[in-house]
Chains A and B, each alone.
Chain A
């Protein structure tokens, strides 16, 4: 489907949180709106809608991106992961989510799903980041509640625990 008419809703198939899904999108529909309104993924939060705040961050083929700066039609056939897919099928939170809870890394929670996805990408590429590198990465997200202290503490805790669990296995 290389050419898509502006007035038509086009069928889009993608791999969303590990499932193959299909939805309809006219070309101007933002990925953030597609995920919320077509796929009912309310873990994708929408705030600034011009790429500044980071609330809508998702993983596109494993890389953290702003879903408000991508059109849904661009991700046909691609893999999208959202915070809704972090917990396991029983609803058990993953280690990062549990650390956020433990360290009070959220208050209102609006920025949280986006930050979780960025951290997921970041730790996959940098398993043992310095605090400075972590804070620099977090500058791509606006959090007005926490002052970032709890967020940094939670992520560094996850880093330490993942490192120690790896070393005990070897």
Chain B
């Protein structure tokens, strides 16, 4: 439970971090909050030759408006986002989802972008990013590119990020004024990874539902209208379509049932929050 030896670079600027990534390629890993990475390094699931610590780069620590999106820099912690006074009004889905993310003690250190980079299929922030249709800003010494959430996460713990790229920031669309949002999940214990999680957006008659913890990545479904009597069959079809599997924590059958029940409840709650 002790990490293998590695060199450590405390990057003082974005350029310094990008240069280190370009030089060391697959041997280097970025360290921000470390709430997933350090656990994996302790277990020696990862054995980097170099850790590039970006947590003290002040130009990466921000929450700002960028057009109709919230832009969150790579060094911003989950606790800082949760404590941001405008969060509830700008994007209630995030305000509802973040309390489920780990614990106060891990949110104090864990970053928003780090959770998205880690791309755990049952993690809350990748699900919010996918459901809201957000973007990931990737930077390397070759330049910058912006990927949609759907293009970014390619599978379980897998993303389209190249080895020499860092997530500089993520953009999450702010709330549409008339839409309603809801987030819910079922975990064996509070703060554990979700067995299944749901993010719902209700706008007029339309519903968007994102599901985490069941497929190998967050899955998003849209209905232009969803009348009361077709909600259950629609959710049932979706539950089967996700092809959830048995694992240590839950059976595939239990996961399908969670999708049906959490989905129905989240749609109802999101619709009641419309204005």
Residues of A within 8 A of B (CB): 1-7, 26-28, 30, 33, 49-51, 54, 57, 60, 63-66, 68-71, 73-74, 118, 121-122, 136-137, 139-140
Contact = CB atoms under 8 A, between A and B. Distances in A.
A48 B21 CA distance: 31
Closest 10 CB pairs of A and B: A140-B103, A27-B8, A50-B39, A139-B190, A6-B5, A49-B1, A69-B38, A63-B108, A4-B8, A140-B105
Interface of A is mostly: mixed
Given A50-B1, A51-B39, A70-B38, A65 B7 contact: no
Interface in B1-43: 1-12, 16, 34-35, 38-39, 42-43
A28 B8 CA distance: 8
Interface in B206-227: none
Nearest to A118: B105
B142 interface: no
Given A2-B11, A30-B42, A49-B42, A57 B105 contact: yes
A64 B79 CA distance: 11
Contact of A4 (B4, B7, B11, B99): B7
Contact of B105 (A28, A33, A54): A54
Contacts of B123: none
B109 A28 contact: no
Given A65-B108, A139-B189, A28 B53 contact: no
Contacts of A27: 5-8, 51
B5 A140 contact: no
19 contacts: A2-B9, A2-B10, A3-B7, A4-B7, A6-B8, A7-B5, A27-B7, A28-B6, A51-B38, A54-B103, A60-B109, A64-B105, A65-B105, A66-B109, A69-B34, A70-B38, A136-B190, A140-B104, A140-B191
B34 A70 contact: yes
Contacts of B42: 30, 49-50, 68-69
Interface residues of B, number: 35
B35 A69 contact: yes
Contact of B79 (A50, A54, A63): A63
B126 to A, nearest CB: 19
Given A63-B108, A140-B103, A28 B11 contact: no
B153 interface: no
B7 to A, nearest CB: 5
A67 B1 CA distance: 14
A118 B108 CA distance: 11
A73 B8 contact: yes
B55 interface: yes
B106 interface: yes
Contact of A3 (B8, B105, B190): B8
Contacts of A69: 34-35, 38-39, 42, 106, 109
Nearest to A46: B1
Contacts of A121: 104, 108
Nearest to B109: A65
B8 A118 contact: no
B205 to A, nearest CB: 35
B4 A28 contact: yes
B191 A139 contact: yes
Contacts of A73: 8, 10
Contacts of B9: 2-4
A71 B8 contact: yes
B7 A6 contact: yes
